[in-house]
């Protein structure tokens, strides 16, 4: 199985969603990583499949911008699976409970987002 990045991120709440996904795809492609991105029109949720994807992920990044409950739910699945996620958020985002991860790294704009994610992928 090819190594892949699992991205947890807000979709409809984020007006920059499409641009961020293009950034992620480009960064992953440059590094030979596949990427699993959130979908605008997701299939029905399958808990068993989601847990398998989490277990198989080479890297997990959770964007907690906008405080979306669905992102915290998915982060909870990551935590329950004893996996680590890199936490990021737009500057000024109010964040809530999370455990077992490092500090949240913040970005100000799309340029900062790209630099932050590139740094995480290269670490």
Average pLDDT over residues 13-18: 93
**Which string of b and e fits 57-92 if b means at least 16 CB within 10 Å?**
bebbbbbbbbebebbbebbeebbebebebbbbbbee
Query: pTM for the full model?
Result: 0.92
Closest C-alpha among 38, 95, 109 to residue 67: 95
For the chain, what is the domain count?
A: 1
CATH of the domain at 82: 3.40.50.450
Q: Copy the structure tokens of residue 13.
A: 């709440």
* Angle (nearest 5°) at CA 79 between 63 and 1: 80
Q: How confident is the model at residue 2 (pLDDT cuts 50, 70, 90)?
A: confident
Q: How much is the pLDDT for 3?
A: 87
Q: How much is the pLDDT for 42?
A: 73
The mean-pLDDT minimum among 20-24, 36-40, 73-77, 95-99 falls in: 95-99
Residue ranges making up the domain that contains 71: 4-122
């Amino acid at each position: 199985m090819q190594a892949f990045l699992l991205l947890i991120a807000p979709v409809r709440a984020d007006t920059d969603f499409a641009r961020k996904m293009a950034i992620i795809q480009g960064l992953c492609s440059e590094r030979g990583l596949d990427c699993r991105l959130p979908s605008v029109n997701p299939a029905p949720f399958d808990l068993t499949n989601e847990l398998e994807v989490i277990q198989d992920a080479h890297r997990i990044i959770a964007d907690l911008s906008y405080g979306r409950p669905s992102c915290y739910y998915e982060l909870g699945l990551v935590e329950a699976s004893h996996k680590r996620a890199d936490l990021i958020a737009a500057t000024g985002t109010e964040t809530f409970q999370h455990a077992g991860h490092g500090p949240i790294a913040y970005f100000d704009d799309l340029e900062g987002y790209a630099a932050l994610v590139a740094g995480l992928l290269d670490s």
